[in-house]
Amino acid sequence: MLLGKEGTPFHFNSLHLVHTSRLSLPRCTAVFLTAFCLMSGLWPIFGKAKNAEKPRAQASDAEADPDPPPPAAAFAAAATAATAANSTRRVTGSPLHKKRRPSGLSQQGVPYSVDANLSPAVKDLGLRERPVLESPPRQKSQSNAARRTVDLFGLGSSESNNEPLGKLDELDDDEESVDDGEYLAAKTTIGDEQTLVEIDDKKDDDPTDFHDSVMPALSSSDDIETSDSKQPRVPSNEEDFARTLADHYAKQQGAANQQFSFASLRRPPQNAKQSNELHKYLSFCLDIFMIVYAAGFVFSPTSILSASFDYMHKHLCINTKLSYVYWLFGKIGCTGNGFNRLLYYATHQYKYIANELVQAARPVISIDTLPNALQITLTNAMIKGLAAFVLFKGVPVPRLTIRQAVRFEMVGLPFATQLFFFAMITDYDKGIMLSGAIKLVGCLRRLYLATLESGAQVKFNADGAQHEAVNYTFLGWFFYEMPRVVAEVKRFFDLFPEEERRQLLEQGWTMNTALLTWPTGKLSDAPPLLASVHILFAEAIFGIGNWVDALPFPPVADPKKIQQCFDSSKYLPIQGLEAFRRIRKYVRRISRNGGFGFIDVNTVVVGLLKDLKPDQLEVGEANYMNIESLEEFFCSIMGWVRFFRSPILPIVVLKKPRLDNGMFRLLFLYNPFCYATFWNPKCTKVSLKRVRSMARTVMQCQWLLMVVTVLTTENHDLTFDVMDQPITDNFMFIWHIFAHWAIFLHIPAAVCALVFKQFLILSDNLFDSRHTTQLRDASFDSRLVGKQARVSRNFKTKKSSVRRFSTIHRYVACILSGARNRQELKTPVLRVIDMLKTDDPTDWLSTSSTYSTKNKRIESIKTEGLIQGALLGEIMEAFLEDRPNVGNPLANYSPSKEETDANSMALAKVALSGEWHTCQSTINYDGDESYDQRKAGNGFTPPAHGVKLIAHNWGEDRRYSFQGKDDTALQYAYFDKNKFVEKMVAPTIEGRTGKDTRKKNDKSNKGIMFSDYKMEQPLVPPKGRGKGARWARMGPTHQGITMFRLVWRKEGTEEQRKKELKKLLAENGFELD
């Protein structure tokens, strides 16, 4: 049991926790990103990807990226500006290389329905690939010594702690500075009230990105490879484990640090049971990763074919706002926004090689473009597999005690992570607290990223922010700070004279109504049960309804947009004066009648006083415009005395002597409660540098709760049974869950605030539209993450096949990247060919594609430029070998686009001239197997110039009319080599003069249709051919050719005819000399 006896430090039984010196907050730094974007006048993206994305209406074969890559010039500007802005910080280094172990790898594909429980089978496939790690170019000015003490991610090596590891969090990669036109307005929750956040157009996805690569790589002692190393024993009880956590935090954090460091939040060396759970979890992550790998949607970052891919291509770089598991310089990380991650690297860690980052960062998995069928399989597998890591199954969360939670962490994964898994795998139920988190914005996306990142790190044996969801915890902070808060409670009461202290503890006192600050506004369509966290704090501490606001109305009476709900600048100075008078009246009443008063420091009210005009003040109020703080005014003007000030909490207690009737007179001044979960309305994140001030606020709330509990309880002995109290009764324990979800799980801040409120409202499940707007679009399957996956199922079946399978180019690159050597290349190449022949490779039931679909896909691969060189040649060769009509001379030939265009130009010249020409009458087939297919010219030799043409049907002596049926001057027909149209036969030419029935979006290579022309041949008169005979066409001749001309069908002048012909050609991109 945790006891705090008089005269003794707060301790865990015999365990004494040493108090360290005061930890103060760092001064907030300006956000660089916004300033940079505004000054540069650019929306910076690091180099335009090749084949930049077409407008959405015209895209045929690319996934519709939310934001197409902007110009490359912005990258140089970004790097230059960032270098100047951050010149005082130099962070470089080289990857941490570990001993690699050889292993096998199989590239064979398996269906999506692979069970998540793959461990034995996966071992047969090979758990790891031996990558050739690449180091980033080193900055010439940096010394070798400096490189030894700083790791690749700029966090300080395990050998040196000279610089706080958290300092690199000054600019997180989710700092938004974008054109408002790129975003949609989406309602959400801020500071525990309704707000409007400008987020990416995928409302039900993660609306932000977090800096999740600041984690130092685990040391070898923490790596799962070193299972043979001696492990600490499992603690005998929860108090021992709590002491271990607190000691580890105190040692790593240090008294001098002013903000959290990741080293202090890393779990202590794991005991045998924890290590076993970690092994099981990483095996699970690998199994999930292997499902994606086997399906062909993993790009192997160290492929032997790396020179064959264009890493600047839009489908093979992370220079977008999509979510990725990525590889960079030998390390694997994940991000919810690829562009922001690259911008962070360019402005902080790799400034000297900023222009190389787009090409260096490789997207191992693109979360948003995973097909919906695969996503459903992954989600189902994760929901099934994560249940094994939740150790409190069957126990309702509100009934859990801190002791139980500590026990679950002592033998398993971090308790806060277990809570997240429980929330994700439990279907929504109004009566089950935290159930249905899969419905919340960003949660499923972050589960995907965390799981697949860990799986990729195990698979490729790569470094990075290794498994932060399970290797870090805020529980050490809780057990270090909680005794200090209890000690501050005891110190407060110890400051009173013995008699006064005895009376305070023995009697149950009534608390005055607390004065808060000002209410936030609510939009007209806000959820009806939306709650504010500072109100929940006030009612938990002071009692339901036992509080009022100094400013009783919101800044805007009827807000139309969310910014108006929180814009305290809308208050007028006279309103601030009225609020100050209310505060002064409240204090005077306590001075006169005695009691315990609680007042928010109300900096907004004090700030408004400075803008008052003298004529607005009454007699005796002239000094109000010069007031610096409420504390200063109460002490200097109203005669109160500073009685208690905490070095670790933002709490000040003022005191006046007791009244004659024995009433105490105390004023408690505290910071606004909303700071405990506060987040910026324009940036939905909680970063490590900001979370420190939040921690101080929640410690203040915990102190107030404990002090009020002591004052309102008769005969309180200052004993606090912390271990055995419910987790819902301790603000700091609840907050450690909030911080863990925000920092190590990277859940959006609005969702984390909602989770915090859930622990203060136990009567209902808050993951409901009555309580929050942080819900994903209910019309989509909650098991789907990426917007692309959700949209793909709505594609119409008659859409272009290349467009319908929008991930074709990345899919092909992923399949090919898995080959470990040239000998293994045949299997992935054949898999690519199979993909070409499948109508929709992402569908559960594969159906064969048409021959034209296969042709269009291979043509798209050939022209897209993502795959280059000899590898492209391998694919083309395999495609030709796989053609079903290869070696069949009876199969018709499909001309290339170049051949079709040449034929169109040849017919255009025939039409323009209006003269008689000759062409091959039909395709010959003489049994010669040297010809692959039926094609004009195969087995045909044109006659000599001037040879008389003899029609099959009319004989050698037949003469022809060349001017129509009225022509009487009949002539023989002769071959003119200068008027011979090659590579086309008469039926094809006549087909070109028919009606164009093709759709406008049909991009097949069918050439120009000359529908305004008709094909004429020389006519044979009926004379001498028997009774009833009519004029007949020449037809084929013994020489294998026939004669024709193209005649305009319309009425008009020759000038009009030529003009319309040229217009037709121009519309199709041609021009005649």
Q: Rounded to whole angstroms, how far apart are CA atoms 267 and 273?
A: 14
pLDDT mean over 903-917:
93
* pLDDT tier, 520 (very low <50, low <70, confident <90, very high otherwise): confident
The mean-pLDDT minimum among 158-162, 179-183, 492-496 falls in 179-183
Distance CA 105, CA 911 (A): 61
CA-wise closest residue to 449 among 427, 434, 469: 469
- Window from 15-19, 456-460, 692-696, 986-990 with minimum mean pLDDT: 15-19
Q: What is the pLDDT of residue 521?
A: 85
The model's pLDDT over 743-791, given as tens digits with 9 standing for 90+, comes to 999 998 889 999 999 999 998 999 999 999 889 888 888 899 876 655 5
pLDDT of residue 826: 81
Q: 437 near 767, Cβ under 8 Å? A: yes
- Say what the pLDDT of residue 888 is: 52
Dump pLDDT digits (tens) for 769-779.
999 988 988 88
Question: Dihedral of CA 156/161/163/164: which sign?
Answer: positive
- List, for residues 394-420, the tens digit of each pLDDT value: 889 999 999 999 999 999 999 999 999
Going 795 to 801 to 803 to 809, the CA torsion angle's sign is: positive
**426 Cβ contact list (under 8 Å, min separation 6):** 432, 434, 435, 436, 437
Going by pLDDT thresholds of 50, 70 and 90, the confidence category of residue 175 is: very low
* β-strand partners of 440: 775
What are φ and ψ of residue 368, in 5° steps? Answer: -65, -25
Q: What do you get for the CA distance between the two ends of the chain, in Å?
A: 98
Q: Enumerate the β-bridge partners of residue 651.
A: 670
> Can you tell me the distance from the alpha carbon of 445 to that of 208, in angstroms, rounded to the nearest whole number?
11
Please say if the pLDDT value at position 332 is more than 60. Answer: yes
**For the residues of 809-822, what is the DSSP string, one character each?**
HHHHHHHHHT-SSG
Q: Give the strand pairing for 917-920 and 1041-1048.
A: antiparallel
3-class DSSP state of 867: strand
Distance CA 1035, CA 1020 (A): 10
pLDDT band at 893 (very low <50, low <70, confident <90, very high): low
Ordered DSSP codes for 441-483: TTHHHHHHHHHHHHHHHHHHT-BSSTTHHHHB-SHHHHHHHHH
Q: Six-digit token pair at 491?
A: 């110190």
CA dihedral 838, 841, 843, 848 (to 10 degrees): 0
Query: Is residue 197 classed as helix, strand or coil in its secondary structure?
Result: strand
Which is higher by pLDDT, 482 or 201? Answer: 482
Do 262 and 472 contact (CB within 8 A), yes or no?
Answer: yes
3-state SS class at 247: helix
Residue 343 is inside which H or E element, if any?
A: helix 338-347
Q: Per-residue pLDDT for 832 more than 90?
A: no
The count of C-alpha atoms lying within 13 angstroms of the C-alpha of 899, restricted to the half-sphere facing its C-beta, is: 9
Both structure tokens of 348: 């902080």
1020 and 960 Cβ atoms separated by less than 8 Å: yes
Task: Provide the 3-class DSSP secondary structure of residue 855.
Answer: helix
Across the strands, what pairs with 325? 334, 365
Q: What's the token pair of residue 887?
A: 């070696």
Give Cβ neighbours of residue 857 (< 8 Å, ≥ 6 apart). 801, 802, 808, 835, 836, 849
Tell me the two tokens of residue 830. Answer: 């054949």
- For residue 423, which of 452, 451, 453, 390 has the smallest C-alpha distance? 390
Contacts of residue 924, defined as CB under 8 A and 6 or more positions apart, other chains included, come to: 938, 939, 940, 1040
- SS3 percent helix, strand, coil of the chain, rounded to 5, is 40, 10, 50
Mean pLDDT of 712-723: 94
The upper half-sphere exposure of residue 566, i.e. CA atoms within 13 Å in the direction of its Cβ, equals: 18
Residue 480: pLDDT over 70: yes
d(CA 45, CA 71): 7
Residue 214 DSSP class: -
Q: Which residue, 584, 551, 585, is CA-closest to 570?
A: 551
Contact between 465 and 214 under an 8 Å Cβ cutoff? The reply is: yes
Residue whose tokens read 């190389």:
356
| DSSP-derived 3-state class of residue 1043 | strand
pLDDT (0 to 100) of residue 878: 78
Tokens for 659, please give them: 């009244």
Contact 316, 358 (CB under 8 A): no
What pLDDT, on a 0 to 100 scale, did the predictor assign at position 884? 63
pLDDT bucket at 128, cuts 50 / 70 / 90: very low
Phi, psi angle pair for 917, to nearest 5°: -135, 170
Dihedral sign of CA atoms 667, 672, 675, 676 in order? positive
Q: How many residues does the chain have?
A: 1073
DSSP string, 772-791: -S-B--TTS-TT---HHHHH
**Which range among 21-25, 219-223, 412-416, 932-936 shows the weakest confidence by mean pLDDT?**
21-25
Beta-ladder partners of 917? 1044
Q: Say yes or no to pLDDT of 29 above 80.
A: no
Nearest to 538 by CA among 553, 528, 548: 548
Q: How far is CA 987 from CA 223, 761, 941, 1044, in A?
A: 73, 80, 19, 11
Lowest mean pLDDT among 447-461, 556-570, 597-611: 556-570
- Mean pLDDT lowest among 76-90, 390-404, 802-816, 928-942: 76-90
SS (H, E, C) 262-317: HHHHECCCCCHHHHHHHHHHHHHHHHHHHHHHHHCCCCCCCCCCHHHECCCECCCC
Mean pLDDT of 810-824: 80
pLDDT per residue over 1012-1021, tens digit each? 999 999 998 8
| pLDDT interval class at 1000 (50, 70, 90) | low
pLDDT for 754 equals 92
What rounded mean pLDDT belongs to the chain? Answer: 75
* Residue 910 reports pLDDT greater than 90: yes
Distance between CA atoms of 671 and 562, rounded to whole angstroms? 24
**Partners of residue 670 on adjacent β-strands:** 600, 651
What pLDDT was estimated at residue 664?
96
Closest C-alpha to 1013, from 962, 975, 1064: 1064
C-alpha R_g of the chain: 38
- Highest mean pLDDT (candidates 247-251, 812-816, 837-841): 247-251
Reduced 3-state DSSP string for 880-898 = HHHCCCCCCCCCECCCCHH
For CA atoms 241, 243, 248, 253, give the dihedral sign: positive
The two three-digit tokens of residue 914, written as one number: 């209006």
Collapsed DSSP state (helix, strand, coil) of residue 597: strand
Using DSSP, state whether 655 is helix, strand or coil.
Answer: strand
What's the half-sphere exposure (Cβ side, CA atoms, 13 Å) at 156?
A: 14
Q: What is the average per-residue pLDDT within 10-35?
A: 35
